[in-house]
Structure 1
């Protein structure tokens, strides 16, 4: 389904995208980050916080680290300021990159078992599918953030994967 090269490319894409969001968020007044813009989680900050929470949850399943507290309902409050988000996001992106750099083909085989609070049941899915889902979830919510940013006076980041720089730094 996927390869370690794909995972590394997506980890780099994720870090590149979030680096651009950090810059965009700095250009906004803090109140603009909190304004309910009609997104699924309301504001830009709440959506960014949920996205961070999701990455924390998936990475806990992938690398055995500690999962975040709370469920989806609390995910919008993992971070409450753009500064806290930027720091936590930087750390999470470094963790994802480290994990991706060490991933081997064999690591993408087999099944992943976990309890899903969203589904309210134990889950078993192919490991590779779960990895793809994590990156898809990131892109989905960054797309929502991108749409909300276009309603501000800040230029939304470039999101085309084909325009990602060939070389880092990714963070």
Structure 2
């Protein structure tokens, strides 16, 4: 279904998007970042925290680091402020990029099994589908953040994949 080049391209897109989002969030004060805006995870920072939390969970499942000690219900508060979120996000984006760089075609074949705390049961799914899910989940919630940034009166970042710097130079997936 997908190739290692696809995963590397999406890892680069993820890092680019998070950098742009960080820049836009940096133009807001803490009150604006924490203000409830009707999103599922409440605020801009809450939603950004949730995305980071979920990426940590997926990377732990894929063998790329430790899972967070916080449960899903508390994911919106995993990092208390923008500076802590930024440091963790940058570290995780580097980790995702390094992990993706080392993938081979065989790494995308097979099934991943884990215990889902949310479902309270064992789950097994194809690895390639789970990778697509991880990147899709990021995009979904960054879209919510994009809308909340606009609502907060700041310029929301460019999200179009084809506008990513060096997008045309990337290997085709």
Q: TM-score, normalised by structure 2?
A: 0.94
Q: Which residue of 2 aligns with 1:10?
A: 10
Question: How far does the alpha carbon of each residue in 1:12-61 deviate from its partner, in whole angstroms, 9 at most, with x for none?
Answer: 00000000011111100110000000001110011000100000000001
- The answer to whether 1:28 aligns with 2:28 is yes
Write the mapping of 1:102-141 to structure 2, written as runs, cut at 5 A. Answer: 102-141=102-141
Write the mapping of 1:75-86 to structure 2, written as runs, cut at 5 A. Answer: 75-86=75-86
Structure 1 unaligned regions, length at least 5: none
- The answer to whether 1:19 aligns with 2:19 is yes
Q: Which secondary structure state, in structure 2, belongs to the residue aligned with residue 2 of structure 1?
A: coil
Alpha-carbon distance between aligned partners in 1 of 2:110 and 2:124, rounded to the nearest angstrom: 10
Q: Judge which range, 10-19 or 118-127, deviates more.
A: 118-127
Q: How many residue pairs were aligned? A: 167
Question: How far does the alpha carbon of each residue in 1:100-149 deviate from its partner, in whole angstroms, 9 at most, with x for none?
Answer: 00000000001000011122210000011111110011001101100101
Q: Which residue of 2 aligns with 1:88?
A: 88
Q: Which secondary structure state, in structure 2, belongs to the residue aligned with residue 114 of structure 1?
A: strand
Offset at residue 65 of structure 1 (A)? 2.1
Alpha-carbon distance between aligned partners in 1 of 2:122 and 2:77, rounded to the nearest angstrom: 25
- For the Cα contact (< 8 Å) 2:53–2:75, is it kept in 1? yes
Structure 2 unaligned regions, length at least 5: 168-173
Q: Judge which range, 59-68 or 96-105, deviates more.
A: 59-68
- Distance of aligned partners of 1:23 and 1:64 in 2 relative to their CA distance in 1, 3 Å threshold: closer
Q: TM-score, normalised by structure 1?
A: 0.95
